[in-house]
A = this chain, B = another copy of it.
Amino acid sequence: MSSNEKRGEAVDLSHHLSKVGKARQTSPLKGLHKYMGKPGLISLAGGLPNAAYFPFSSVSGDILAPDSFPLETDSKESSLSWFWRLFSRTDKERTSTFTVGKYSKHPGDLDLENGLQYGLATGQPKLNEIIREFVGKVFQPGYSNWTTLVHTGNTDAWFKTIQTILNPGDGLIVSEWTYPSAMAGAQPFGIIPVPVGMDSEGMSSISLRQTLSEWDESARGIPRPHVLYTVPIGQNPTGTTMGIQRKKEIYDICVEYDIIIVEDDPYYFLQQGKYIPKSDRVVDSATDDEAFIASLAPSYLKIDYQGRVIRLDTFSKTVCPGSRLGWFTCNPMFAERLERTAETSSQAPSGFTQIYVASLLLKWQYEGYLRWLKALRLQYKQRRDYFLDCFADEFHLQKKFSTEGYTAGTHLYHASLKPRRSFVPLSEKDNAYSKPLFSFVPPSSGMFLWIELHLEEHPAFSSLGYKALEMKLWTEIAEAGVLFAPGAMFFATPVEDDTLGHGHFRISFSNSTPEDLKKAVSTFSTVLRKFMKN
């Protein structure tokens, strides 16, 4: 849908509400709200402490300039300057300061009197304005009456979504490899994951249609699912990026089968694009705001002409995880139900958090925040590139086009060991070094490299099975001082047949120093080399 087209309102989707989601009552205090704004009103209804008793008289923050990080990638010659710039603490950061006092001088300004008081679950008005502007400009929802609602991070947002639209015994459509914490949140409520196949863009629309069209309630034991959970950008764990075409296909299927899409999208602004080996890499350069937004794979919101997407955004990756702040974008009916849920659980996000994030964004303004996001994306791109370069240095990589499984449709890198010593006997070389021991698709978004282990040649493969081998190798790497995330935990449903399949690791490149990233790859190589001989 083009942005010029007239957008309709969300359709009625109230039949998707769960028993709990329906049952949440409008606060009995709602009747009081019509009096709230009245000038001169004396409200003795609530239990508010007087702000004079808040022991903070002001709070301040030093914030980085939005252009603290460059918009050009490094040239090949100095490929670590992105990093050194971060950590050379002698290098003066450019910062500016804001202060929020207890009582504001101008009405509507941020202050502690209101900011640290009990607040509506909808959050501070200033923050909401900023969020609404941002969603409109960046995600451009495909219907007119979309609504935003602050939440306390995507984990809690997903928890609230579960309670609002899922009943015990409901199926939940997920990718076959998926974010384990999201499953852990749903599982105690008796939600049953229904995995569908993937390819190199994430969830496969073919597999989704097949799952739904062939749904046999009596064989499956549960009705056809009406909710789909997805991490479309920087898919966790595989690191893929779903483009607009695939999203349209999936959205249309969801319209056909009346399915709500929960788009959990923490890595949206960490879209790094295709990995280009060091030798062929060119310098990235700046783009203007519109080109930047256009360069990002659009959100499901953009094609959501019915209001059936509940999008979860978070400041965890773009500001800091400790903010515990994010927002829903969804139709007003779901937003109202989610607000009711917040009223009797988290209430409003922390006042300190709201003050800090709102102050930051007010200081930066929309343009400044976009500038920050553009540079942040490049930081992650350079981290990703550097990390994959380490693999290219340490292993023999062979690029092959994949037509099968969750990597279908893209180039897969097969990694085999390089001989370390020239005097290795030829027979040993043949056995250990020629066969690929693992493979990966370079991630195009997010924080993770997802590798598939090919341990068929391991002496104990047939006796242990791949899950036990994966844990054995994981433990040996951990004992050698490097912690990966074991792959089995990312499978949507417990693995039944242990003799087929492959081991996996999810490896993060988001936080470590270049030395540690390099050392980790080298340690992995050393351990793997030894491991294959035992």
Contact check: which of B155, B350, B478 meets A353 at CB < 8 Å?
A: B350
**Do B509 and A187 touch (CB < 8 A)?**
no
Instruction: Answer whether residue A221 sits at the interface, using C-beta atoms and an 8 A cutoff.
Output: no
Given contacts A38-B481, A44-B512, contact A63 B56 (CB under 8 A): yes
Given contacts A352-B353, A353-B353, contact A42 B481 (CB under 8 A): yes
Instruction: Answer whether residue A185 sits at the interface, using C-beta atoms and an 8 A cutoff.
Output: yes
Contact check: which of B56, B66, B376, B481 meets A62 at CB < 8 Å?
A: B56
Number of interface residues of A (CB under 8 A): 117
- Chain B residues near A50 (CB, 8 Å)? 86, 510-512
Residues 127-176 (chain A) with a chain B CB within 8 angstroms = 152-153, 155-156, 159
**Do A45 and B321 touch (CB < 8 A)?**
no
Q: Is the interface of A mostly helix, strand, loop or mixed?
A: mixed
The answer for the CA separation of A18 and B223 in the assembled complex, in Å, is: 25
Instruction: Answer whether residue A245 sits at the interface, using C-beta atoms and an 8 A cutoff.
Output: no
The answer for the CA separation of A28 and B181 in the assembled complex, in Å, is: 9
Instruction: Answer whether residue A372 sits at the interface, using C-beta atoms and an 8 A cutoff.
Output: yes
**Do A352 and B323 touch (CB < 8 A)?**
yes
Residues 18-73 (chain A) with a chain B CB within 8 angstroms = 19-21, 23-25, 27-29, 31-32, 35-36, 38, 40-64, 66, 68
- Chain B residues near A21 (CB, 8 Å)? 188
Look across to chain B and name the residue whose beta carbon is closest to the beta carbon of A186: B344
Instruction: Answer whether residue A93 sits at the interface, using C-beta atoms and an 8 A cutoff.
Output: yes
**Do A347 and B509 touch (CB < 8 A)?**
no
Residues 175-211 (chain A) with a chain B CB within 8 angstroms = 180-181, 184-185, 187-190
Instruction: Answer whether residue A500 sits at the interface, using C-beta atoms and an 8 A cutoff.
Output: no
Contact check: which of B47, B322, B448, B481 meets A41 at CB < 8 Å?
A: B481
- Chain B residues near A23 (CB, 8 Å)? 187-188, 190
**Do A322 and B351 touch (CB < 8 A)?**
yes
Residues 483-531 (chain A) with a chain B CB within 8 angstroms = 483-486, 489, 506-512, 516-517, 519-520, 523
What are some 11 contacts across the A-B interface (CB < 8 A)? A19-B188, A19-B190, A36-B483, A44-B520, A50-B510, A60-B62, A118-B316, A119-B322, A152-B350, A156-B347, A323-B351
